[in-house]
Each structure stands twice: as structure tokens, then as C-alpha cells.
Structure 1
Amino acid sequence: MRILYFAWVKQRVGVAEEELSPPPEVRDVAGLIDWLAVRSPGHAEAFANRKTIRAAVNQDFAGPDHPVAVGDEVAFFPPVTGG
């Protein structure tokens, strides 16, 4: 699974992307966030407030219950506003 991080999420995690193999029990975006949050102090800081994180799976916006699978690209980023 390819995990991408953008903006302050990337700064806190310390990398722009990772290739990871989550365990089989990680089945959705929320489970992936839970799993990532314990990988390092930077991950924990980035995912400490779930309300400030948005996700996309295979370049489509995705909510916490959206499924994830091997081979997916999952991006995490702060909320985006337009103007």
C-alpha cells in the first residue's frame, strides 16, 4: 500500500510517502489511521486529532469507513478550503 502525506501531515510524519503492508485487520481508512498512529511519535502527532485529517483512496475522497486494500494508494492531508 502506498501512503502519501501532504502539508503539515507530511511535516509531522517526516516523510512524503511510504510503502507499507498493514496487517489484515486493517480494512478501512479509520483502521489504517489507528495502525499508522502507533508507528512513530511523528505519526502519533499527525493523527492525534482525526477531525483535522482528510483522506483519499486511489485519488477519490474517502471517509473513515471507506475500505482499503493491498495495492491502494491512500493520501492524508489537512482539510482544504476554497476561495
Structure 2
Amino acid sequence: MDVVYFAWVRERIGLPREVVDTQATTVAGLVDELRAREERYALAFEDISALRVALDQELSDFDAPLAGVREVAFFPPMTGG
């Protein structure tokens, strides 16, 4: 699946997007797999309460299932102006 990173998440990981082969069944499981990869991922996903996630461009939760999902996007909360 495609995993997309925005804002400071992209800066910490150093990639705007990547294709990830995962065994995870939920977003939280995917985050655990990514954290285990290396330190830059661990730092980016250190505090998931500071992150939002979208599955196939629909805002979602970290306990959401990944079955059938083609794209997961991680980004900080947005504020209006």
C-alpha cells in the first residue's frame, strides 16, 4: 500500500511517500511496524496523539482496519485561518 507523509512527519522520515508491504490489520499495527524500522520512524510516530490519519483520503482512526485500503496518509492536525 502507499503510505504518504505530510508536514513535519515527512521531514522526520525524509520521504514524501513510499510503498509499504505490511502484515498489519489496523493503522495502529502499521504504525508499530513503521516505528520498528529505524529511529527516524520511531521519532515521527513517537506521539500518535499529535497525528491524524486518512485512509484512501478519508479521515480515520488509528484503530481502523486496513483491509482493502490502498493509501494511508499521516499528517499533523490542521487548523483553520
Q: Is the pair's TM-score, using the shorter chain for normalization, greater than 0.5?
A: yes
Instruction: Calculate percent identity across the aligned residue pairs.
Output: 43
Conserved in 1, the CA contact under 8 Å of 2:6 and 2:76? Answer: yes
Q: Aligned pair count?
A: 81
TM-score between the two structures when normalised by the length of structure 1: 0.91
Alpha-carbon distance between aligned partners in 2 of 1:11 and 1:73, rounded to the nearest angstrom: 19
What SS does structure 2 have at the residue aligned with 1:35? helix
**Is the alpha carbon distance of 1:70 and 1:22 closer, same or farther for their aligned partners in structure 2, counting shifts above 3 Å?**
farther
Amino acid corresponding to residue 70 of structure 2 in structure 1: D
For 1:40, which of 25, 35, 38 is the aligned residue? Answer: 38
Give the gaps of 5 or more residues in structure 2. none
Match of 2:13 in 1: 13
Runs of at least 4 residues off by over 2 Å:
none
Provide, for residues 27-49 of structure 1, a one-character-per-residue CA deviation record: whole Å limited to 9, x for no partner.
Answer: 11111111111112110000001
- Aligned mates of 2:67, 2:14 — CA distance in 1: 24
Task: Describe the shift of the 1:78–1:31 C-alpha distance in structure 2 as closer, same or farther (beyond 3 A).
Answer: same
Higher helix fraction (1 or 2): 2
Question: Who is 1:69 aligned against?
Answer: 67
Deviation at 1:81, TM superposition (A): 1.0
